């Protein structure tokens, strides 16, 4: 090879295109085209019209599912924040040993398959599970149904998505200069006001990151709501799957998928403008 590296790095040459081409072509064939197919089907199945969108946007069932999805995603995000913030704090401000153990735990949870964690909640919340047993012990004659309710799917989603929140907040907390806190204290900030006016604003980027991530994943969440949720209170991904698998209603399914996609992309675009998309998965 007689080509020098300096020639390789000249601004206008074909090298980057050559290197990029295989992936580019691949993504075109196996990413863009399938996505385009969804878009096309939403307008053409079963016949060319806007009927699918009309139905999806005005039908009471669909509206309820959309609303349910949004409310659930927002609620899960909020819960993840409430659960994640203290834990991230504990990780960031404990002795190295404790911090390390918690980090290990969160990382474990992070890497454990969604399915495994969903299954665990099935055991925990099942009719023969420990929680029901506990409720019976403290005097419930007929304990409420926990599994296959909005409660069980929300709880499991919070558990599954919390690590994303925790990791994002923890990363930010870790970077806070202790001297900054000390100097704020020396200026008279204490307790709640120190937290509100100094600590919380400093961790805001982590909160924003984690929240966007959790919210967006939750919007399109399929596995857990389908397995643990109430069949009567589906979320959008579940309904899409249902339409496709049960009724082969590709048009309707695609229209819903497109709406889900557009909403997701709008959120991520706003995020991208402010922070840059590559930061999200940090």
Interaction residues for other proteins, span 99-158 (CB under 8 A): 102-124, 126, 128-130, 133
d(CA 79, CA 84): 8
Query: Least distance in Å: CB of 154 to other proteins?
Result: 13
- Residue ranges in the chain assigned as alpha helix (H): 5-8, 15-27, 33-44, 51-58, 60-93, 96-111, 114-125, 130-137, 150-175, 178-186, 191-194, 200-219, 223-228, 236-247, 250-275, 277-280
Give yes or no for residue 5 binding other proteins (CB under 8 A): yes
Q: How many residues bind other proteins (CB under 8 A)?
A: 107
Q: Which of residues 42-81 bind other proteins (CB under 8 A)?
A: none
Nearer to other proteins, 8 or 50 (CB): 8
Q: Which of 76, 81, 167, 169: binder of other proteins (CB under 8 A)? A: 167
In the stretch 174-213, what mask flags binding to other proteins with x, by CB under 8 A? -----------------xx-xx-----------------x
Transcribe 165-210 into DSSP letters. Answer: HHHHHHHHHHHS-HHHHHHHHHTT--HHHHIIIIIHHHHHHHHHHH
Q: How far apart are CA 121 and CA 75, in angstroms?
A: 19
- Binding-site member from 62, 66, 148, 164 for other proteins (CB under 8 A): 164
Nearest to 153 by CA among 238, 249, 52: 238
- Contact with other proteins (CB under 8 A): which of 86, 174, 180, 185? 86
CA 242 to CA 51: how far, in whole Å?
19
The only residue of 84, 172, 206, 207 in contact with other proteins, by rule CB under 8 A:
84
Tell me the window of 52-60, 85-93, 136-144, 174-182 that interacts with other proteins (CB under 8 A): 85-93
Closer to other proteins by CB, 57 or 83: give it: 83
Q: Out of 68, 76, 221, 229, point to the residue binding other proteins (CB under 8 A).
A: 221
Cβ atoms of 253 and 259 within 8 Å: the answer is: no
Selected from 65, 81, 169, 226, the binder of other proteins by CB under 8 A is 226
């Amino acid at each position: 090879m007689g080509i020098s590296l300096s020639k390789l790095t000249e601004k206008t040459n074909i090298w980057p295109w050559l290197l990029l081409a295989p992936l580019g072509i691949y993504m075109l064939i196996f990413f863009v085209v399938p996505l385009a197919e969804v878009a096309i089907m939403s307008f053409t199945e079963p016949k060319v019209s806007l009927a699918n969108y009309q139905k999806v946007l005005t039908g009471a069932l669909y509206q309820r599912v959309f609303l349910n999805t949004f409310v659930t995603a927002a609620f899960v995000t909020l819960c993840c924040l409430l659960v994640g913030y203290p834990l991230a704090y504990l990780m960031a401000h404990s002795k190295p040993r404790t911090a390390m153990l918690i980090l290990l735990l969160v990382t474990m949870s992070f890497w454990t398959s969604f399915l495994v964690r969903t299954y665990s909640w099935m055991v925990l919340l099942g009719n023969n599970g420990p929680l029901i047993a506990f409720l019976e012990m403290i005097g419930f004659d007929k304990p409420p149904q926990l599994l296959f309710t909005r409660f069980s799917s929300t709880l499991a989603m919070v558990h599954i998505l919390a690590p994303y929140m925790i990791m994002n907040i923890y990363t930010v907390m870790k970077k806070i200069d202790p001297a900054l806190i000390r100097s704020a204290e020396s200026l008279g900030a204490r307790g709640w006001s120190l937290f509100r006016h100094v600590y919380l604003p400093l961790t805001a980027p982590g909160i924003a990151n984690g929240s966007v991530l959790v919210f967006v994943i939750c919007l399109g969440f399929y596995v857990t709501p389908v397995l643990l949720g109430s069949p009567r209170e589906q979320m959008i991904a579940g309904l899409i799957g249902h339409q496709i698998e049960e009724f082969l209603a590709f048009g309707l399914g695609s229209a819903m998928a497109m709406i889900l996609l557009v909403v997701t992309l709008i959120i991520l675009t706003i995020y991208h403008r402010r922070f840059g998309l590559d930061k999200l998965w940090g």
